[in-house]
Structure 1
Amino acid sequence: MSTATTIKEKELFGHPIGLYVLFFTELWERFSYYGMRALLTLYIATSATAVDPGLGWSSKDAIWLYGWYTMLVYVASIPGGWIADKFLGQKKTVMLGGFLLCLGHGVLAIPTTWAFFTGLVLIILGVGGLKPNISTMVGGLYKEGDIRRDSGFTIFYIGINIGAFLSSIIVGLVAYKYGWHYGFGLAGIGMLIGQLVFIAGQKHLKHVGNFLGKSENPEEKEAMNKPLTKIEKDRVIVLLISFLIVIVFWGAFEQAGGLMNLYTDAKVDRSINFASLTEIPAAVFQSLNAGYIIIFGTIIGGFWIWWKKKGRESSSLFKMAIGTIIMGLGYVFMMFASKEAGSVEFGKAAMVWVFLAYLFHTIGELCTSPVSLSFITKLAPVKYASIMMGIYFAATGFGNKLAGSIGESAQLEAYQGTMTMSKEDTYKFTSKDSIKVKKIVDGKKVINDVFVYPIEEDKNFSIKGKVYVENNDVVFKGYKNGEDLGNTFALNDVNDSKENLIQYLNDNNVTADNPYHVNLKFEKDADKAQVVENKGDGKNYGVSFVIEEEQNEQEYKIFQFLTFFTVIFGLLLILFLKKLKKLTHGAEDKEGTINEETEGFELADSKSNS
């Protein structure tokens, strides 16, 4: 499948200049998307009464919203592809999507709840218009059989990841230093730059991405009107099967923005002594995947070229299967991290496990994702080009929703209670801290630092403790001093929570000599904290906690499940590889017949046939 023009295009480094227009457009679009995504679950799960407040949702609910959002972002690619194929063409739909994205990210920078959800909706619509069509335009730059197509997609893919790499670091640090909405705003500036690049580069895209329904080219008119052949139908079938691989792959891989992000924030030792930083913000770790892609993209592509020249199996489906297996093995390192964090009370894992996990995830992604994009443009009938690309991104979206559901299952429902101790009693469990206080002076917002107990400024605090059963009752003791914590809060009598807690502790033989551990989180009611008269009264505090040992065990099980499921799925795919390849009717065998790639610019697998 190709809509490339027969007119000789200007080239740069052996590729059409239009590729680099799309490269920089996508770079900045991904800068905005991944910058915002790096903050998303962290912002949602941050307390609404924190110094830099978030939405105050639980980690479980944060991953739930993340799963739905990332699914809808990609599922919107189906109507986005349909609009391009039936009405506007790819180029105009990309332009429309870009405008919606600029608006969405701009609204997201406004620090209100309505703006947050409005911004998410606009971003969903914008990505739906831009994402499938800009990828299809990359394929349209090359004629059928052009060996440069795969390397063109890898160049494009590297652009995506330069944007993702820069944004996760820059946006993450800006949000850490200045606040969530400054980070969201910076992501929006990135999208605006991308839109300006696309507008300025239109002269290099005149012959690609146009609406074929109004084409004067007789071959394109015929392609849009004639029914699918038997070969085209078989290729559509194998594409739909490949989309199942996509769902499984991204269902495991996309734990990055959800479970992995929250786990890194809570369970990984991120201590550092660099400049003014004492710890690495969790959002910055989202740059690892993109950074690895920039480093290893050409190396992995070169490996597959060498592998192919050796006469070994190197079809797109085979690469996707191998990529799924390698990616899944990355969770072995998260199992090690979970074991290390759970080996001591309130323990944290070393950063090296996260670095290794993302390395394997990235190698798996490089074997799978750019290949699958190119695979679609090879097999999809021209009349359904954007729709098939849209279905691919929808499959990615379903994978993201699967990722959200898996991530949710790793988060235990917290036990809830109400604080019963007086404000003065909290002093012996907490210490004074430097707290930022916002005040309005002469109509201007001023932020001052005060050194005070958190409860005096309605801020959250936590108390670490031990928990066990004694005389058929739950006992809470201070972790260090052993002081009784039973009078600090009362469990809410909802769904027999106290009876369920006692049952769980008894089932695991938890006693005073072998206690489990809790981190009691005390949080002021967000609405009551807005009433100035109530400031510092020490009232209206809720309490939540999970059993640390139970949470560690649950996370370990999820990492273990992700490992076994992806590896077994990849092996089954290899088992049925020959039957699936027959349905392609040699679509990949045509490569290499024309436009041999200039030596030195082979950035990806030059031949994907077996």
Structure 2
Amino acid sequence: MIELNKQKIADSVPQRGFFGHPKGLFTLFFTEFWERFSYYGMRAILIYYMYYETTKGGLGLPEQTALAIMSIYGSLVYMSGIIGGWVADRLVGTARSVFIGGILIMLGHIALAIPGSIPMFFASMVLIVLGTGMLKPNVSTVVGDLYAPGDDRRDSGFSIFYIGINLGAFIAPLIVGTIGMKYNFHLGFGLAAIGMFLGLVVFMITKKKNIGLAGSYVSNPLAPKEKKIVWSSIIGGAILLGIILAVTIPAGILTLDGFINIVGILGIIIPTIYFIVMYTSKKTTADERSRVIAYIPLFIAAVMFWAIQEQGSTILAAYADKRTQLDFAGIHISPAWFQSLNPLFIIAFAPVFAWLWVKLGKRQPSIPAKFAFGILFAGISFLVILLPAYFGGDDSLVNPLWLVLSYFIVVLGELCLSPVGLSATTKLAPAAFSAQTMSLWFLASAGAQALNAQLVKFYTPENEMTYFGTIGVASIVLSLILFALTPKISKMMRGVR
């Protein structure tokens, strides 16, 4: 392995060329733009594809089952990031992982585009889960590599990168959602596959010139003897898993509810193991250990935030379809269009937040304080959405502006927490676990959606006030606790801001 430090990697990247940022940000911006177009286009219609009747082109699954599958699917997408992070850190590096992941995602969307049975649907989910796990955490790690240590442009750069993510996410429901809902679900999934193909083209054409050594190294490579053991374990584990599934599913031992419970348990156990391994590793320095401890309350706050935000594609998506007045201001609104609200508001306000952090400089709120603001806004967004039921009852259609307001408020929280969390993760990560720590960041979303798979069972139009109110108040209380702990956490971050 070629020994590289972060300064040498940054020096290999052209540092001026994309809005005053490293030229490689262009490559990663548009790669992630098309990947998010692909992912969010598919996700905008997936819940409806699952529970719409077969006569309408859907799979005809029960709505509660579809909501649970959607949450578990989202959880596994982010949980698979531990595989992608490990492969990048130990085998191929982050840049190659991004390319491999993009290919798997494209194949998954192609499988969805082929009219078929439920087994074909689940096969596509496996491909997309593995592909997103390879691409999503590693592309963010490469963004971090573009900047030298102490570069004040880093947070601003991640905010610009976040615009690329959300520009793709904004356009996708309007295009893929309209085609999929109005004409044919499979045609919509085909458009998602084309989006991922374009992302791969951008990455391959521009990466050599723009990103230099960023993502080209393997930070903690396996020794030759270790590789033999790993490959034997992977092959043996895959065979064993296949046997277990072949026996337990037909026998009714492994049910959907049982699988949801297993994923929920993994959502707690896997991050715990990660924190223990990183903290106890001999490759982790004393300062890095302190930062690992400081990262724990930030991780918990992120789980709370994403548990609320991710319900925009499950509970609120069904709410838009079943509880919202879709004929408004002389037009008929597709329920899939509401999925564009979150990225639309981020595109509009991310530059404001990026400017604000740069303008404030060292006077800006600390990382823990930004996280506390994030979950405060998330809690308020759920309190807002319970108001229509309070004023109008649970049997009347809701003015769509209530949903718009809820999405807007949660976006304010997302801009305080998500791009800052990406940046903080690259700064707090132990050197030997750089890509895997980014995977840990995405495990917060995995744990949140595993939790949501349990929570959706309790949601009905009749108890929506209790549902939204309980979760919203819990988030606000957690934000107040985090505000109180901010000075202690900042001290344990050992100089990282």
The TM-score bracket by the shorter chain reads 0.7 to 0.9
3-state secondary structure, aligned to 1:16: coil
Residue 125 of structure 1 aligns with an amino acid whose one-letter code is L
Amino acid at match of 1:336: L
Give the match for residue 229 of structure 2: none
For 1:22 and 1:110, the matched residues in 2 are separated by 30
Distance of 2:289 and 2:329 partners within structure 1: 59
In 2, the alpha carbon distance for the partners of 1:128 and 1:39 equals 21
| 2:304 paired residue number | 248
Paired residues for 1:52-67 under 5 Å: 52-67=56-71
Cα RMSD over matched residues? 1.9
Within the candidate set 443, 463, 476, 1:567 is matched to 476
Counterpart in 2 of 1:373? 422
- In the aligned structure 2, how far is the partner of 1:178 from the partner of 1:8? 45
In the alignment, the residues of structure 2 paired with residue 80 and residue 7 of structure 1 have an alpha-carbon distance, to the nearest angstrom, of 24
| Residue 71 of structure 2 is aligned to residue 22 of structure 1 | no
User: Which one-letter code corresponds to 2:447 in the other structure?
Assistant: F
Provide TM-score, normalisation by structure 1. 0.68
Higher relative contact order (CA 8 A, sep 6+): 2
The unaligned stretches of length 5 or more in structure 2 are 222-280
What does residue 51 of structure 2 align with? 45
Q: What is the CA distance between 1:6 and its match in structure 2?
A: 2.4
Distance 1:353 1:234, change over 3 A: same
Greater strand share, 1 or 2?
A: 1
8 Å Cα contact 1:267-1:341 kept in structure 2 = no
1:362 aligns with 411
1:395: how far off? 1.7
Q: Which amino acid aligns with 2:321?
A: D
Q: Following superposition of structure 1 onto structure 2, how do residues 165-244 of structure 1 map, counting pairs within 5 Å?
A: 165-203=170-208, 204-212=210-218, 227-244=283-300
Over 3 Å counting, the alpha-carbon distance change for 1:41 and 1:91 in structure 2 is same
Does the Cα contact within 8 Å between 2:13 and 2:24 map onto a contact in 1?
Answer: no
Matched residue, 1:335? 386
TM superposition shift of 1:10: 5.1
Matched, 1:576 2:464: no
Residues 146/307 of structure 1: CA separation in 2 closer, same or farther (3 Å cut):
closer
Match of 1:103 in 2: 107
Cα distance in 1 for partners of 2:481, 2:41 equals 36
The match for 2:75 is: 71
Offset at residue 342 of structure 1 (A): 1.7
Aligned counterpart, 1:497: none
Contact 2:144 2:426 survives alignment (8 Å) = yes
- The one-letter code matched in structure 2 to 1:149 is R
Distance 1:207 1:65 in 2: 39
Number of the residue aligned with 1:115: 120
> For 2:305 and 2:220, how far apart are their aligned partners in 1?
38
- 432, 448, 466: which one aligns with 1:399: 448
Percent of counterpart pairs with the same letter? 38
Q: Classify the secondary structure of the residue corresponding to 2:10.
A: coil
Paired residues of 1:87 and 1:211 also in contact (CA < 8 A): no
Aligned partner of 1:31 among 34, 37, 42 = 37
> In the alignment, which residue of structure 1 is the partner of 2:351?
298
1:83 to 84, 87, 100: 87
Cα distance in 2 between the residues matched to 1:341 and 1:119: 41
Once residues 444 and 219 of structure 2 are traced to their aligned partners in structure 1, the CA distance between those partners, rounded to angstroms, is 27
Matches within 5 A, 1:398-437: 398-411=447-460
* Distance in 1, Cα, partners of 2:219 & 2:144: 19
Greater Cα offset, 238-247 or 114-123: 238-247
Q: Which whole-Å CA distance do the structure 2 matches of 1:172 and 1:337 have between them?
A: 26
**Cα deviation, residue 8, structure 1:** 5.8
Taking structure 1 as reference, are residues 236 and 159 closer, same or farther at Cα in structure 2, changes over 3 Å only?
Answer: same
More helix by share: 2
Kept in 2: contact 1:81–1:132 (CA 8 A)? yes
* Paired letter, 1:201: T
- For 1:355-396, what per-residue CA distance to the aligned partner results, in whole angstroms no more than 9, with x for missing partners? 100000111100100000000111112221000001111121
What is residue 390 of structure 1 aligned with on the other side? 439
Encode CA deviations 1:478-507: one digit per residue, 9 max, x unaligned: xxxxxxxxxxxxxxxxxxxxxxxxxxxxxx
2:195 corresponds to 1:286: no
In 1: Cα distance, 2:360 partner to 2:381 partner: 23
Partner of 1:271: 327
In structure 2, distance between residues paired with 1:8 and 1:18: 7
CA distance in structure 1 between the aligned counterparts of 2:15 and 2:289, rounded to whole angstroms: 35
Give runs of ≥4 in structure 1 deviating > 6 Å: none
